[in-house]
Structure 1
Amino acid sequence: MANVRSEPGVGPVYAQWRSQLKPITTGRADTETVNDHLVSMAGVPMPEWWVARVTDSRALLAPLQGAQRKAWWLAAASVLLVGLLAVLSMLWVARPLTQLHRRAQAILLSQNPVDDSPSHGAESELLAGALDHLEAQQLHNGHQAEFSRMQLQGILEQAPVGIVITRNEVLELLSQQASLMLGYSRAELEGQSVRQLFADDAQYDELARQMREGAATRGGYEGEFALRRKDGSLLWARVVGRMALDRRSAMAAVWVLEDVTSARDERRKPMWANSHDLLTSLPNRAAFLERVRALLAHHAEVPDSGVALLHVDLDHFTLVNDRLGHEAGDLLLRQFATLLDELVRHVGWVARLGGDEFAVVLPNCTAARAELIAEHVRASLEEWEFAYGGESSTITVSIGIVVAPTGFDEVTPWLRAADMACYYAKRAGRNRIMVREIMDKAATV
C-alpha cells in the first residue's frame, strides 16, 4: 500500500485534516476540492480507518459544460430566426411603398415609370392611382410643350422681322431674320449677354431705362437704338418690346427689331457728316473737342474723378502709304479704327484727330489704369497684321497718356500734353507708351 501523503489529491486533504484536528465522521462523507480534484472522505467503524475517493473535477464537469454550450447555441439560433422573420415581415409590409417611391422618382425625373404596381392595401392603391394620374398629366404636358416649341421654331424661322427673346438680360432665342440683320449665327448669340448687341453702354443703358419704365407702366417700350453687327458696323434698329415674368419669376422680354439704318442715315446725313470722320466713321476732331469740353466740365465738379486721354499714333504709316498706295492706306486706317474701337469700347470711346492720329478718352480713370489699358491696346495691335495685295505688314503704335485731374477743364493744354507724350514715345524708339502730367493747366506744353 502507498503512503497516503503521496497520493494526488488525498495527501493535501489528509494533511489539512490532521493540522486542523478535524474528525472524520463515520457514516457521512465530507468533500473538498483540492488542485482540480474532488476528494470525499468518510470514516469506517474501525479505529484509525477511513475511506477516501478522489475524482478529477474537470472530467466530472465536462458533460455539464458541453450541455451549457449547446444551450447557448440554441438560444443564439432562436434569436437569429426571430430577427430574420421580423425583417421579412417588414419588407413584405414596405414593398408597396417602395414601389410607389420608385415610380414617383421615375415620373419626377421624366423617365419611363417602373411597371410594378403594389398589389395590396387600400392606401397603396390610392397612391398608385394618384401617381398614374400624375404620369398621364405629365405626358400630356410634355406633348403640349413640344408642340408649342415646334410652333415657336416655325415662327422664328419664317418671320419677316427680327425677333429676339431674352431672359434675365441673356439672349435666349433669335429669329432667322434677327441673325441675318446682326451678322451672327443663332448659335453664336444664344446664351450671350444682351449688352453684347449694343454699340456702346449709353445705348444699352437707355434701353434698360425704357424697359424699367415700361415694366412699371404698360409693360412695353419702343425706340431706336444703335446695335453692333458682327463685322463692327452699326445697325440702327427700331425696337418694340414687351416685358413679362415667367413661372420662375425671371424677367423675360420679347423684342421685334426693324432695320432703320438707311432711313436714319438719310434723315441725319448732314448732322452726322458734320460730326464724324467719313473714312473711319469715328467722331471727328470737332466732335471730339465738343464732347471732351462737356466731359471735363462735368468731372471738374466730381471729386477724385480723373479723365485719361490716350494720344495714339501709327508708326511708319507713311511707309505703308508710299509702298502700297493710298487705297491701302485708307483701308489700313479703316481697319485700324475698327480694331481700336473694339479694344476700348467697354471703357471709353475713340475719335480720329486727323491723318494717322487718334484719341482715346477714358472717363473715371487713373494714370495706372490708363497705362494698363494702353499696354493692352499696344500689344493687341502689335499682334495684328494688315494684309493688302498679297502682302502683310505688322503695325505698331506709339501712345502718349495724360490724365486730367479733378478741377481741370481746359481742353487745349490737355491735348497738347498728350501729343507731346506721344512724340517722346516715338523719339524713344516707337511701339511704346509715355505718361506725362499736366503741371499747370495754363502752361504751354
Structure 2
Amino acid sequence: MRASPSGHEPEFAARPGGFAPGAASAEFGQRALRAIPDGVVIVDLEGRVAFLNPIAAHLTGWSEAQSLGRGFSEVVRFTDAHGNVLDLHEVSVSGDNITALVRRDGHVILVDGAMGPIEENRRQVGWVVTFRNVTAAKRLTNELMYHANHDALTGLVNRRSFESRLERAITTAAGQGCHHTLLYFDLDRFKAVNDRGGHVAGDELLRQLAALLRKQLRERDTLARLGGDEFAVLLEDCRPGDAACVAEKLRSAVAGFEFVWEGERFRIGASIGQLDFADGAHSPDELLARADELCYRAKALGRNQVVAGDAADPAAPVARAGRPVAAFRQRMP
C-alpha cells in the first residue's frame, strides 16, 4: 500500500465561508467521505473499523452497520501473493499498490490502495485506508501485454517476445556458463497447402501444428512463430546432445503430421537449424541469422532434416545426423 500524502484530517473550518467547528464540520466531513468515488475505511488504533463509506461497503461486501467495531482484516481482507490475509500492520508495510481483496462472498477483486495515519493535535488517533477496484483495468492491461507478446493466429510467443527471451538466455550463458540451444525451422511443402486450400487452410494447419509442437517440448522451453511458416525454439539449460534429440523429435512429429482439408490430405516437413551456444558473445540477431543459415543448409541438403552448428565456431564443419556435410560444401558456394 502507498502511504497517504497527508496524515492529517482536512481542516474544513479553516477556509473562508467554511463550516464552523463542531457538528456541522463533522457532518460535512462525513458527507465528503461518503461521496468519494474510492473505498474509504477509517480504523482506530486498536485496529477496529470506525467508518466505512458506501464504495468500501460495496467492494468488501460488508455494510457499515455490520462492519463497525470489527477487526480491520475481518472486513477488509487484503491478501498477499500466497492468499494469506494481511493484518493492518502488514498492509501498512507491504509497499504494494495493487493487491487482491477477498469480498465477504468469497469473490476476489484487484484493488489499488493507499493508507496513512490520522492525527489529531499531533497525536495519531487511527488510520485511513483508501482503495479502488482495478480488476477490469488490470485484466485489460494483461490482455494487451499478452497480445503484444503472442502471435494472434497460433497463440505462440511472437518474434518480439522471443528475441527478448533469447537475450536473457544470452546473459545467463555469459554469467552462469549455461548451455542453451536455438532451433530455427520452417515448413517444407507448406506453399502447396496455401495454393490448393487457400490461406484459410494454411492458417488452420499452422494452428494445429503449433498445438502438436507444444506437446514435444518441456514447459520451460519457448516455442515461437516468427512469421509465415517460420518457427523457433529456445531450449534453455540444454546440452547439445539433448538438444539434438529434441530437434529430431520435432522433425519427426512434423513429418508424421497429416493435415486434412476438404477431403484432401497434405504431408509437410520441417528443415531445422540447430545452433548451440554457451557464451554471451553474440546478439539475438546474430544467433537468429546463424540459425537461419543452418535451416537453409538443411533445405539445400534435401529438406526434412536437422543441421547443427555451434555459435562459438561458425566456421567448423556442420554436422547432420552425426555426419560431416562434405556433400553440402561441394554443392553450395
Which range, TM-score by smaller chain? Answer: 0.5 to 0.7
Amino acid at match of 2:202: G
Give matches, 1:266-285, under 5 Å: 266-285=140-159
- Tell me whether 1:370 sits opposite 2:243 in the alignment: yes
1:297 match: 171
- Tell me whether 1:286 sits opposite 2:150 in the alignment: no
Amino acid at match of 2:251: R
TM-score, with length taken from structure 1: 0.40
- Tell me whether 1:392 sits opposite 2:265 in the alignment: yes
Given that 1:341 and 1:350 are in contact with CA atoms closer than 8 Å, whether structure 2 keeps it comes out as yes
Q: Using a 3 Å threshold, how does the CA distance of structure 1 residues 372 and 325 change in structure 2: closer, same or farther? A: same
Q: Using a 3 Å threshold, how does the CA distance of structure 1 residues 335 and 263 change in structure 2: closer, same or farther? A: farther
Aligned counterparts of 2:137 and 2:303: Cα–Cα separation in 1: 44
Q: Using a 3 Å threshold, how does the CA distance of structure 1 residues 279 and 402 change in structure 2: closer, same or farther? A: same
Q: Which of 318, 324, 329 is the aligned partner of 2:191?
A: 318
Report deviation, 1:337: 1.3
SS for the counterpart of 1:434 is strand
Q: Which of 382, 385, 391 is the aligned partner of 2:255?
A: 382
Given that 1:375 and 1:433 are in contact with CA atoms closer than 8 Å, whether structure 2 keeps it comes out as yes
Cα shift readout 1:341-370 (whole Å, capped 9, x = no counterpart): 221143511111111000000001121111
Given that 2:277 and 2:312 are in contact with CA atoms closer than 8 Å, whether structure 1 keeps it comes out as no
* Amino-acid identity (%): 38
Aligned counterparts of 2:254 and 2:146: Cα–Cα separation in 1: 28
Report deviation, 1:284: 1.1
Q: Using a 3 Å threshold, how does the CA distance of structure 1 residues 307 and 389 change in structure 2: closer, same or farther? A: same
Give matches, 1:100-119, under 5 Å: none
Aligned counterparts of 1:334 and 1:265: Cα–Cα separation in 2: 25
Given that 2:259 and 2:267 are in contact with CA atoms closer than 8 Å, whether structure 1 keeps it comes out as yes
Amino acid at match of 1:313: D
Aligned counterparts of 1:399 and 1:372: Cα–Cα separation in 2: 12
Cα shift readout 1:205-226 (whole Å, capped 9, x = no counterpart): xxxxx66x96xx99xxxxxxxx
Report deviation, 1:440: 5.7
Cα shift readout 1:224-258 (whole Å, capped 9, x = no counterpart): xxxxxxxxxxxxxx9x9xxxxxxxxxxxxxxx999
Given that 2:213 and 2:253 are in contact with CA atoms closer than 8 Å, whether structure 1 keeps it comes out as no
2:307 match: 434
1:308 match: 181
Cα shift readout 1:9-35 (whole Å, capped 9, x = no counterpart): xxxxxxxxxxxxxxxxxxxxxxxxxxx
Amino acid at match of 2:157: P
Report deviation, 1:408: 3.2
TM-score, with length taken from structure 2: 0.52
SS for the counterpart of 1:399 is strand
2:213 match: 340
Aligned counterparts of 2:218 and 2:172: Cα–Cα separation in 1: 21
Q: Using a 3 Å threshold, how does the CA distance of structure 1 residues 265 and 352 change in structure 2: closer, same or farther? A: farther
Given that 1:300 and 1:409 are in contact with CA atoms closer than 8 Å, whether structure 2 keeps it comes out as no
- Tell me whether 1:406 sits opposite 2:279 in the alignment: yes
Aligned counterparts of 2:264 and 2:139: Cα–Cα separation in 1: 35
SS for the counterpart of 1:280 is coil
Report deviation, 1:409: 4.4
2:223 match: 350
Cα shift readout 1:22-51 (whole Å, capped 9, x = no counterpart): xxxxxxxxxxxxxxxxxxxxxxxxxxxxxx
Cα shift readout 1:278-297 (whole Å, capped 9, x = no counterpart): 11111111111112112211
Amino acid at match of 1:294: R
Given that 1:314 and 1:397 are in contact with CA atoms closer than 8 Å, whether structure 2 keeps it comes out as yes
SS for the counterpart of 2:155 is coil
Aligned counterparts of 1:439 and 1:301: Cα–Cα separation in 2: 16
In structure 1, stretches of 5+ residues that fail to align are: 1-209, 219-237, 241-255
Cα shift readout 1:98-156 (whole Å, capped 9, x = no counterpart): xxxxxxxxxxxxxxxxxxxxxxxxxxxxxxxxxxxxxxxxxxxxxxxxxxxxxxxxxxx
Aligned counterparts of 2:259 and 2:137: Cα–Cα separation in 1: 33
Aligned counterparts of 2:313 and 2:257: Cα–Cα separation in 1: 38
Give matches, 1:12-411, under 5 Å: 266-303=140-177, 305-346=178-219, 348-411=221-284
Q: Using a 3 Å threshold, how does the CA distance of structure 1 residues 334 and 326 change in structure 2: closer, same or farther? A: same
The structure where helix makes up a greater share of residues is 1
Aligned counterparts of 1:410 and 1:401: Cα–Cα separation in 2: 16
Q: Using a 3 Å threshold, how does the CA distance of structure 1 residues 403 and 388 change in structure 2: closer, same or farther? A: same
User: How large is the Cα RMSD of the aligned pairs?
Assistant: 3.4
Aligned counterparts of 1:417 and 1:341: Cα–Cα separation in 2: 24
In structure 2, stretches of 5+ residues that fail to align are: 1-80, 88-99, 110-135, 315-333
Given that 1:317 and 1:356 are in contact with CA atoms closer than 8 Å, whether structure 2 keeps it comes out as yes
Aligned counterparts of 2:307 and 2:227: Cα–Cα separation in 1: 21
Report deviation, 1:268: 2.7
Given that 2:157 and 2:222 are in contact with CA atoms closer than 8 Å, whether structure 1 keeps it comes out as no
Given that 2:162 and 2:222 are in contact with CA atoms closer than 8 Å, whether structure 1 keeps it comes out as no
Amino acid at match of 1:273: H
SS for the counterpart of 1:309 is strand
SS for the counterpart of 1:436 is strand
> Mean Cα displacement is larger for which, 432-441 or 330-339?
432-441
